[in-house]
Amino acid sequence: MGSSKQRTKLEVCIDSLESARNAINGGADELEVCSSLVEGGLTPTPGLVKEIMRMIPKVNVMIRCRGGSDFCYTPDEMETMLADIEVYKEFGVDRFVFGALTKEQEIDKVNCVKVVNNAHPIPVTFHRAFDLCKEPKVAVEDIISLGFKRILTSGQQPSAADELALQLLDLLLKNYNDKIEIMPGAGINCDNATLFFKSGFSIIHSSCKRIKRLPEVGDLNMGGNEMYVTDENIVKQIKKIT
């Protein structure tokens, strides 16, 4: 991979005000604001977004109305997400994060163009739904043509630091970075962040998380007793690397 002297920015994904404060105090450049990171990140509440916008200028909002890894949405689900976009446009957020696929695991052009058009002029990141596409080269061309401004990808592997992931990320960076921003994410930590800095990526994505255990109260199946919390020290360590 190539090299770059440009500072690499860090986007931290968070799902609570506690995590947002930790990320900001650690020096995060941007926040991807979600709910339920244990589900991979869903649309956050308006209250959470409002509170975070008081603290940091770069707030990117996840638009994903349910969990599940198919990313193939019904008309009702799309109406819900388009309505969420309208709400957050009025807030003045900096970016939306969205992705939709067909049942054949190709880019859902019909629904994606609705989101990009409704979000305009706010830019949209295509999230890790990209990592499920059967033909990544075709998918990235489609994503570019639809008007997305950034792709979050683990290189179609569990971790962006896996060898095969790095090969795909290198290909994307060399061939498409002049058309769309390539943002590696998933499994990026203090031990491997330098790989992406040296490769010349302009931004990387990480949760910088630790597990926070909650008290166990009752046995009514009302949720688990573990949650993810961004660790300020992890953010600081990655920022030192980049």
Q: What are 155-209's pLDDT values in tens digits?
A: 999 999 999 999 999 999 999 999 999 999 999 999 999 999 999 999 999 999 8
Confidence of residue 219 (pLDDT cuts 50, 70, 90): low
Rounded Cα distance, 185 and 198, in Å: 15
Q: Tokens in use for 185?
A: 């994410």
**Is 50 exceeded by the pLDDT of residue 242?**
yes
**Is 90 exceeded by the pLDDT of residue 22?**
yes
Confidence of residue 225 (pLDDT cuts 50, 70, 90): low
Rounded Cα distance, 70 and 129, in Å: 8
Instruction: Name the strand (E) or helix (H) holding 31.
Output: strand 30-33
Please report how many Cα atoms fall inside a 13 Å half-sphere around the Cα of residue 113, on the Cβ side: 5
Query: Domains in the chain, please, with CATH?
Result: 9-121+186-213+224-241 (3.20.20.380)
| Segment 101-124, tens digit of pLDDT | 999 999 999 999 999 999 999 999
**Is 80 exceeded by the pLDDT of residue 236?**
yes
Residue 230 φ then ψ, to 5°: -65, 135
Rounded Cα distance, 16 and 48, in Å: 7
For residue 57, what pLDDT is reported?
A: 72
- 110 three-state secondary structure: helix
Confidence of residue 2 (pLDDT cuts 50, 70, 90): very low
Rounded Cα distance, 178 and 93, in Å: 25
